[in-house]
Amino acid sequence: MRAPDQQSRVYFKIPAANEIVRLQTHFTVPAQPPQVGTMFLWPGLEPRPGGRNYDPIGLGVLQPVLTWGQSCAPDSQPSAYSTWWIAAMYVNVGNDPDYSGCRSGQAMSVRVGEVLDVDMVLDPATGVWKQTVTGRSGSVDFSIDMGEQAQNMALFAIEPWNNASLAGRLDFSDTTITFRDRADDSCLHPELTYTGTGGRISPPAVDGARCHIDSIGVNSPTQATEQAAAAGSR
C-alpha cells in the first residue's frame, strides 16, 4: 500500500513534563463514502520525543479507528465496503519488535448515524491502556501495556488512502482530556497544530486535572479540494 493521501488532523499537545492519562470523546458514523480506497476516522493518543520513556517503543498511536474498506488490523474484518466498522487499535512505526506494526481488538460493524462513545484510559498501577468503544451496535475494546511510556498528544483525524473520500466535516463532541498533573495552561493554552486542511476547536475549560472541549471539527480533505477546484473554475 502506498503512502496515505492528504490527511486532516487536529493535534492537542501538552508539555512533555506532563502526560495524558485519559481521553473521552464522541463522534457519529457518517454516510457511506464511495467504494474506493480506505478511509480511517479516529481520535488517538501519541507520545512526544522527550516525554517519559519515549524510547525504546518510539512513535506509535493508540487509536480506535472507524474504517471504510480494509486495514492492517489483525483481527477478522467485515467484507470491504459492506459496512463501516470500528476496532480499538495500536499502530507503531518504529523497530521495537514488541510494539512495531498493527495490533487490535475485535472489529464491530456499525451503522450510519450511530454515535460512538470512546474511552481511552490508563491504569496507573499496571501501565496498561484500555480503549473501549460503545455504540448501539455493541462494544469493543483493546488493552496494551505501554511500558510506562507517556502519552502527550491527543489527535483527531481524517485519514484517506488510495483516493478514498469523505463528504463533510468530522465532528467530535463533549471531549474530556485528563492529565496526570493539574496544569491549567496545558488545557487553556495548549499547543495546537493543524495539518492537511485542518479544522477547529472550541475554547477548552479546565476542571482540576480535566480539560473539557465542547467540539472539535476536522475538515474533509475531499471537501477542501472540491471547493478549491470550484473556485478555480470561476
Domain map (residue ranges) of the chain: 8-233
pLDDT at residue 85 is higher than 50: yes
pLDDT above 70 for 147: yes
pTM for the model: 0.93
Q: Quote the pLDDT of residue 3.
A: 58
8-233: which CATH architecture?
Answer: Sandwich (2.60)
In the beta sheet, which residues pair with residue 1? none
Lowest mean pLDDT: which of 58-62, 73-77, 105-109? 73-77
Q: Looking at per-residue confidence, does 224 or 70 come out higher?
A: 70
Averaged pLDDT for residues 96-112: 95
pLDDT class for 5, splitting at 50, 70, 90?
Answer: confident
For residue 73, the model assigns a pLDDT of 87
Instruction: With a cut of 50, say whether residue 204 has pLDDT above it.
Output: yes
Q: Tell me the average pLDDT across 180-187.
A: 93
**How much is the pLDDT for 94?**
84
> What share of the chain has pLDDT > 70, as a percent?
93
Q: What's the pLDDT score for residue 74?
A: 76
Distance of alpha carbon 80 from alpha carbon 95, whole angstroms:
29
- Residue 160 phi, psi (nearest 5): -90, 145
Please determine, for residue 232, whether its predicted confidence score (pLDDT) is greater than 70. Answer: no
Once rounded to an integer, what is the mean pLDDT over residues 95-106? 93
**Average confidence (pLDDT) over 171-186:** 96
CB 129, CB 146: distance < 8 Å? yes
Question: For the chain, what is the mean pLDDT?
Answer: 92
Please report which confidence band the pLDDT of residue 223 belongs to, taking 50, 70 and 90 as the band edges: low
CA-nearest of 175, 155, 200 to 59 is 155
| The pLDDT of residue 23 | 98
Reduce the secondary structure of the chain to three states and give it as a string.
CCCCCCCEEEEEECCCCCCEEEEEEEEECCCCCCCCCEEEEEEEEECCCCCCCCCCCCCEEEEEEEEECCCCCCCCCCCCCCCEEEEEEEEECCCCCCCCEEEECCCEEECCCCEEEEEEEEECCCCEEEEEEEECCEEEEEEEECCCCCCCEEEEEEEEECCCCCCCCEEEEEEEEEECCCCHHHHHCCEEEEECCCEEECCCEEECCEEEEEEEEECCHHHHHHHHHHHHHC
Please determine, for residue 48, whether its predicted confidence score (pLDDT) is greater than 80.
yes
**Does 95 score more than 50 pLDDT?**
yes
pLDDT at 131 exceeding the cut of 80: yes
Between 149 and 233, residue with greater pLDDT: 149
